[in-house]
Amino acid sequence: MPSPSPAARLAAEFFGTFWLVFGGCGSAIYAAKQIAQSDDGQDTFQVGIGFLGVSLAFGLTVVTMAYAVGHVSGAHFNPAITLGAAISGRMSWKELPTYWIAQVVGGLLAGLMLFLIAKGRPGFVAEGNMAANGYGEHSPGNYSLTAVLIAEVLLTAFFLIVVLGATDGRAPAGFGPLAIGLCLTLIHLISIPISNTSVNPARSTAVAFFNGNGAPGQLWAFWLAPLIGGLIGGLLYPLLFQNGKRAAPEPARTETADA
């Protein structure tokens, strides 16, 4: 079969990032916290999906879209993954800027759709309620900037190693998206309380400006840390597991995927 066209590859990244943001952040905005009342109105109880449900939602977005379009674009859906793929030799450097643009635009459109839907609920206030990432007083657990940067760099680096390993030609065929989706689920289980989990600059950008409440001013951290993590993971995998050799670009492979 012929290789996918550049337009098809960018469309796959656009729709994949849209789905990641819409499904992952949407689960946090609409479903994470839901309060129900007993029939007699005396008691209230939590029926939302919580941290576990949101973590699974992010993982499932990656699994579904990686199987759907991984053969088209490599299913990055994340600028940090694209950077790691370029560094490791899995894709051409000249494609990186257009991948980043498609990912950010797809994420922003998803953020807009999330905002418009959320406004349909009486009393909804977007400020502080759009699943934005943050540190300090904007961290779910009030974690410091230093703690957030360490967590985001470390988790993104490991994510890159899992992504590159699961899609290595020596790995079991067909299971890459599952391993990557489960890894992203685990990452969220660890770090939602720390930073609301980024490991993906496009995901952070997608909701920051709709959320307000300090998120736009802190966005730099959620570009810097994941990109450093992507750089580290993209360097370490070939060094440790490919005898120091960078792989040749393989445009049609499901080489990576996000969050």
C-alpha 75, offset from chain centre: 11
Rounded to two decimals, the pTM is 0.91
Tell me: the pLDDT tens digits for 132-160? 999 999 999 999 999 999 999 999 999 99
Q: Check residue 2 and give its pLDDT.
A: 79
Q: Check residue 37 and give its pLDDT.
A: 65
CA neighbours within 13 Å on the CB side: how many for 12?
27
Tell me: the pLDDT tens digits for 201-231? 999 999 999 999 999 999 999 999 999 999 9
Structural domains in the chain plus CATH codes: 6-242 (1.20.1080.10)
- Concatenating the DSSP letter of every residue in 98-154 gives HHHHHHHHHHHHHHHHHHHHHTTSTT---TT-S----SGGGSTT---HHHHHHHHHH
Q: Check residue 108 and give its pLDDT.
A: 98
Q: Which residues on neighbouring strands pair with residue 69, listed in sequence order? A: none
